[in-house]
């Protein structure tokens, strides 16, 4: 048996396997009526690892996963890493053109998808013959030679899994944060990046095997990915719930599943506060709740804190480029430092730099820059983009911030144009690219406009070609065909011309005020 | 126009951006097909409240009542007796 030594092997899957061994009979994952112990999960991980090894996967091969949060996703995630592959998780709301872009750009050798997913079936016809496509949950006769099938991932329980040895610098994941046609942005993260950040989060939040987490955040984002890993690296249990469509069901689960912890983005909590009977929920078993993914209105934090009583509430901040987390506000400081994102997590250095690139004085706004073992080596195969944010091993986040006299950090705004809607960060360029494909469109610009629940919703400003006739619905329908539904503009405004600077750059800040 | 047709038109118009009736079956699950997200469900509830005077309580906001055209029609008809 090719079992690497514990000390040398930096593979994230090895950390999972060695930890899981201590909790073999404990629940690892609950999904609907399915309850899966760590021993069973190890069996499932081993099944995938052996499947890939049997097909002679090469070390470092990119393996795209297009599956919603599920025990199958988790088995694939660790199975791919254990076999020496690099996981490329894809947004399950994405349409086939984005999937094709990402699979092509990452030069993925494998594409695993949910057999029931119609969009995936459209995508596999376009991803190219060099990509081995595997349907999870499909019957073996179905692929008829053009894709493989694994009907179930449900192997016998095992105490361990063979894990290929990895160096801390070997890539574990590529996470795509935008899908623009010309330049998809794939954040490369090594085993060392992820492990150091997960260790810091575990320490910062005091996570342990007693945690029972209701998990609603998608694993294909770095936030959800950190929730998945930090709890499965500490022997906790993840209760998976894939949709916030019926938020009252989420609140009901708190009690039914004896939940002790919950993570959300600001819109998650806005929805729970406004659209459920959260006031009547029982939080007696809760230890903590946490928030990241953009600024949560302090009024919502205060309202929530009143309801959850002694339960700790953590405000966190981070970026995909930093594996996940850069700062945490200690729950004990919440009321005193409301509005702050806290201080750097273990192993991370943060500096606020002014326009001259020098450290800013306390109270002075500058760009938040970070360095540490958790910071990505760069964007996948895009040196120019990498060098635009990485300077001398410091990540320039594009976020504007300041510190107070005690070193607590406060975000003052974003220097970038990204739209933040719910848990999604959306590049306006992606939307503009698609709308500009319509022949009747002369120019287009998309911006985020404030929304009480979602943080921002998308508004597109369209300049039509002379004599063109194009309605709002036709534009939205075209977007829906080519973009994930959360990227479809909620509002379309037709204007005569876009406001621009003398150099021709669109003045987005003016559009936001229209 | 009957509730079923009005509701179909509303969903087709606002979430699928089409009037092609074949794009939406009465029993299509909004959750599984991804036609609606959490905001979409709330907008449909507001539509029901405005158009049919149906008050939807928090505990009634469950897939059994709201996850397809057929389920909503049954729910509204039961509420309106």
Read off the pLDDT of residues A280-299 as tens digits, 9 standing for 90 and up: 998 989 999 999 998 898 99
CA distance A38 to A233: 11
Residue A476 Cα, gap to closest chain B Cα (Å): 6
Highest mean pLDDT out of A108-112, A118-122, A416-420, A504-508? A108-112
pTM comes to 0.90
Inter-axis angle of helices A472-482 and A428-436, to 10 degrees? 110
DSSP output for B31-52: HHHTS--HHHHHHHHHHHHHHH
End-to-end CA distance of chain B: 18
Percent of chain A with pLDDT over 90: 76
Query: For residues A401 and A433, is the Cβ–Cβ distance under 8 A?
Result: no
The band of B43, judged by pLDDT with boundaries at 50, 70 and 90, is confident
C-beta atoms surrounding A225 within 10 Å: 24
ipTM for the whole predicted complex goes beyond 0.95 = no
Residue spans per domain, chain A? 40-192, 243-414, 427-512
Supply φ then ψ for residue A307, to 5 degrees. -75, -40
Task: Classify residue A335 by burial, with Cβ atoms within 10 Å: 0-12, 13-18, 19+.
Answer: exposed
Query: For residues B77 and A286, is the Cβ–Cβ distance under 8 A?
Result: no
Q: What is the mean pLDDT of residues A20-37?
A: 96
Query: For residues A216 and A241, is the Cβ–Cβ distance under 8 A?
Result: yes
CA distance A164 to A10: 10
Residue of A nearest to B62 (CA): A246
Q: How many Cβ pairs within 8 Å bridge chains A and B? A: 48
Q: Chain B contacts of A244, Cβ < 8 Å?
A: 37-38
pLDDT of residue A57: 97
Q: Which residues of A33-68 are buried (b: 16+ CB within 10 A; e: fewer)?
A: eeebbbbbbbbbbbbbbbbbbeeebeeebbbbbbbb
Residue range of the domain that includes B63 = 3-79
pLDDT one-digit tens code per residue, A162-179: 999 999 999 999 999 976
CA distance A224 to A239: 13
* Dihedral sign computed on CA atoms, order B47, B50, B55, B58: positive
**Least CB–CB distance from B34: residue in A93, A247, A453:** A93
C-beta atoms surrounding A308 within 10 Å: 16
Q: Chain B contacts of A218, Cβ < 8 Å?
A: none
pLDDT one-digit tens code per residue, A355-365: 999 999 999 99
Q: Do B17 and A474 touch (CB under 8 A)?
A: yes
Q: What is the mean pLDDT of residues A499-513?
A: 86
pLDDT of residue A144: 59
- CATH number of the domain within which B18 lies: 1.10.1200.10
Q: Tell which residue, A62, A89, A101, A70, has the closest CA to residue A483.
A: A101
Q: Do A476 and B18 touch (CB under 8 A)?
A: no
**Is a pLDDT exceeding 60 seen at residue A456?**
yes
- Least confident range from A53-62, A342-351, A473-482, A504-513: namely A504-513
pLDDT of residue A454: 85
Tell me the sheet residues that pair with A456: A450
The band of A153, judged by pLDDT with boundaries at 50, 70 and 90, is confident
Residue A364 Cα, gap to closest chain B Cα (Å): 38
What's the token pair of residue A506? 């669109």
**Is a pLDDT exceeding 50 seen at residue A304?**
yes
Q: Tell which residue, A75, A11, A67, A66, has the closest CA to residue A43.
A: A75
Question: How is domain A243-414 classified at the CATH fold level?
Answer: Rossmann fold (3.40.50)
End-to-end CA distance of chain A: 66
CA distance B56 to B75: 10
Question: Of A225 and A246, which is predicted with more confidence?
Answer: A225
Residue B32 Cα, gap to closest chain A Cα (Å): 9
Residue A431 Cα, gap to closest chain B Cα (Å): 16
**Is a pLDDT exceeding 60 seen at residue A5?**
no
Question: How is domain A427-512 classified at the CATH fold level?
Answer: GMP Synthetase; Chain A, domain 3 (3.30.300)
CA distance A227 to A204: 13
Chain A residues in contact with chain B using a Cβ-Cβ cutoff of 8 Å: 93, 243-249, 271, 275-277, 453-454, 473-474, 476-477, 480, 485-486
The 3-state DSSP composition of chain B as helix, strand, coil percent (nearest 5) reads 65, 0, 35
**Least CB–CB distance from A248: residue in B31, B34, B58:** B58
CA distance A318 to A299: 22
Q: What is the mean pLDDT of residues A453-474?
A: 92
Question: Of A413 and A298, which is predicted with more confidence?
Answer: A298
- Least confident range from A54-63, A108-117, A424-433, B30-39: namely B30-39
CA distance A341 to A12: 28
Tell me the sheet residues that pair with A133: A111
Supply φ then ψ for residue A247, to 5 degrees. -60, -25
CA distance B62 to A248: 8
Q: What is the mean pLDDT of residues A322-327?
A: 98
pLDDT one-digit tens code per residue, A180-238: 766 899 999 999 999 999 999 999 999 999 999 999 999 999 999 999 999 999 999 99
C-beta atoms surrounding A510 within 10 Å: 13
Cβ neighbours for A255, distance < 8 A, ≥ 6 positions apart: A281, A282
Helices (H), A55-108: 71-82, 96-105
What's the token pair of residue A505? 């750059």
Q: Do A247 and B38 touch (CB under 8 A)?
A: yes
The band of A309, judged by pLDDT with boundaries at 50, 70 and 90, is very high
DSSP output for A391-446: ETTEEEEEEEEEE-TT--EEEEEESS--EEETTEEE-HHHHHHHHHTSTTEEEEEE
The band of A141, judged by pLDDT with boundaries at 50, 70 and 90, is low
Q: What is the mean pLDDT of residues B50-62?
A: 88
Q: Chain A contacts of B61, Cβ < 8 Å?
A: 246-248, 275
**Is a pLDDT exceeding 70 seen at residue A140?**
no
Question: Of A128 and A435, which is predicted with more confidence?
Answer: A435
**Is a pLDDT exceeding 50 seen at residue A4?**
no
CA distance A187 to A318: 14
pLDDT of residue A3: 47
**Is a pLDDT exceeding 90 seen at residue A505?**
no
Highest mean pLDDT out of A181-190, A327-336, B16-25? A327-336
Supply φ then ψ for residue A454, to 5 degrees. -90, 0
Q: What is the mean pLDDT of residues A392-398?
A: 95
CATH number of A40-192: 3.40.50.12780
Query: For residues A83 and A48, is the Cβ–Cβ distance under 8 A?
Result: yes
CA distance A343 to A365: 16
* Dihedral sign computed on CA atoms, order A49, A54, A60, A64: negative
CA distance A462 to A456: 19
Q: Do B58 and A276 touch (CB under 8 A)?
A: yes
C-beta atoms surrounding A217 within 10 Å: 23
pLDDT of residue A253: 94
pLDDT of residue A1: 42
How much is the mean pLDDT over chain A?
A: 92
**Is a pLDDT exceeding 90 seen at residue A383?**
yes
Q: Chain B contacts of A271, Cβ < 8 Å?
A: 38
Q: Do B41 and A245 touch (CB under 8 A)?
A: yes
Q: Tell which residue, A415, A424, A368, A420, has the closest CA to residue A396.
A: A368
CA distance A163 to A335: 45
Residue A321 DSSP one-character state: G
Query: For residues A350 and A367, is the Cβ–Cβ distance under 8 A?
Result: no
pLDDT of residue A128: 76
**Is a pLDDT exceeding 80 seen at residue A257?**
yes
**Is a pLDDT exceeding 70 seen at residue A380?**
yes
Tell me the sheet residues that pair with A353: A359, A367
**Least CB–CB distance from A246: residue in B13, B34, B63:** B63
What's the token pair of residue A112? 């695993």
Q: Report strand pairing: A441-451 vs A424-426.
A: unpaired
Percent of chain A with pLDDT over 70: 96
CA distance A431 to A423: 17
The band of B1, judged by pLDDT with boundaries at 50, 70 and 90, is low
The number of folded domains in chain B is 1
Residue of B15, B16, B24, B34 to mutate, interface with A, max A Cβ within 10 Å: B34
Cα–Cα–Cα angle for A458, A178, A479, rounded to 5 degrees = 45
What's the token pair of residue A354? 């002014």
pLDDT of residue A176: 96
Q: Tell which residue, A288, A338, A49, A5, has the closest CA to residue A166.
A: A5
């Amino acid at each position: 048996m090719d079992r690497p030594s514990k000390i040398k092997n930096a593979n994230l899957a090895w950390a999972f396997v060695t930890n899981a061994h201590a909790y073999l009979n404990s629940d690892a994952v609950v999904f609907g009526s399915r309850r899966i112990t760590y021993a069973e999960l190890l069996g499932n991980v081993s099944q995938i690892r052996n499947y890939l090894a049997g097909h002679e996967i090469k070390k470092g091969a990119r393996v795209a996963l297009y599956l919603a949060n599920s025990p199958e996703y988790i088995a694939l995630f660790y199975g791919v890493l254990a076999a020496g592959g690099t996981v490329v998780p894809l947004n399950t709301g994405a349409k086939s053109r984005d999937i094709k872009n990402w699979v092509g750009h990452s030069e993925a050798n494998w594409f695993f998808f949910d057999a029931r997913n119609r969009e995936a079936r459209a995508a596999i016809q376009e991803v190219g013959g060099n990509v081995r496509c595997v349907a999870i949950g499909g019957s073996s006769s179905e692929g008829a030679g053009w894709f493989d099938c694994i009907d179930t991932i449900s192997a016998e329980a095992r105490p361990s899994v063979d894990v290929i040895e990895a160096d801390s610098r070997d890539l574990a994941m590529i996470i795509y944060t935008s899908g623009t046609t010309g330049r998809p942005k794939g954040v490369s993260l090594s085993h060392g990046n992820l492990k150091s950040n997960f260790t810091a989060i575990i320490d910062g939040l005091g996570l342990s095997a007693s945690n029972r987490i209701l998990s609603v955040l998608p694993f294909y984002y770095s936030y959800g990915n950190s929730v998945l890993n930090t709890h499965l690296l500490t022997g906790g249990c993840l209760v998976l719930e894939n949709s916030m469509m019926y938020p009252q069901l989420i609140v009901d689960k708190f009690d039914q599943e004896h939940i002790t912890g919950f993570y959300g983005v600001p819109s998650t909590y806005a929805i729970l506060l406004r659209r459920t009977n959260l006031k009547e929920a029982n939080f007696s078993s809760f230890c903590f709740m946490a928030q990241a993914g953009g600024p949560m209105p302090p009024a919502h934090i205060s309202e929530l804190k009143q309801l959850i009583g002694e339960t700790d509430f953590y405000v966190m901040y981070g970026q995909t480029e930093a594996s996940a987390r850069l700062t945490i506000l200690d729950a004990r400081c919440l009321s005193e430092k409301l509005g702050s994102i806290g201080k750097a997590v273990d192993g991370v250095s943060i500096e606020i730099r002014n326009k001259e690139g020098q450290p800013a004085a306390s109270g002075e706004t500058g760009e938040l820059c970070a360095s540490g073992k958790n910071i990505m080596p760069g964007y996948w195969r895009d040196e120019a983009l990498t060098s635009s944010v990485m300077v001398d091993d410091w990540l320039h986040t594009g976020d504007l911030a300041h510190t107070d006299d005690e070193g607590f950090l406060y975000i003052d705004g974003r220097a970038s144009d990204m739209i933040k809607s719910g848990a999604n960060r959306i590049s306006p360029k992606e939307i503009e690219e698609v709308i500009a494909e319509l022949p009747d469109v002369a120019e287009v610009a998309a911006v985020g406009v404030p929304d009480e629940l979602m943080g921002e919703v998308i508004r597109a400003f369209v300049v039509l070609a002379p004599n063109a006739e194009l309605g709002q619905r036709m534009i939205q329908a075209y977007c829906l065909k080519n973009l994930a539904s959360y990227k479809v503009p909620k509002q379309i405004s037709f204007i005569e011309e876009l406001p621009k600077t003398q150099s021709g750059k669109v003045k987005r800040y003016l559009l936001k005020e229209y | 126009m009957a509730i079923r047709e009005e509701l179909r038109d509303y969903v087709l118009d606002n979430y699928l951006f089409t009037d092609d009736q074949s794009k939406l079956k009465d029993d299509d699950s909004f959750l599984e097909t991804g036609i609606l997200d959490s905001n979409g469900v709330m907008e449909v509830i507001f539509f029901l409240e405005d158009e049919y005077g149906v008050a939807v309580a928090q505990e009634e906001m469950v897939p059994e009542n709201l996850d397809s055209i057929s389920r909503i029609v049954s729910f509204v008809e039961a509420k309106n007796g």
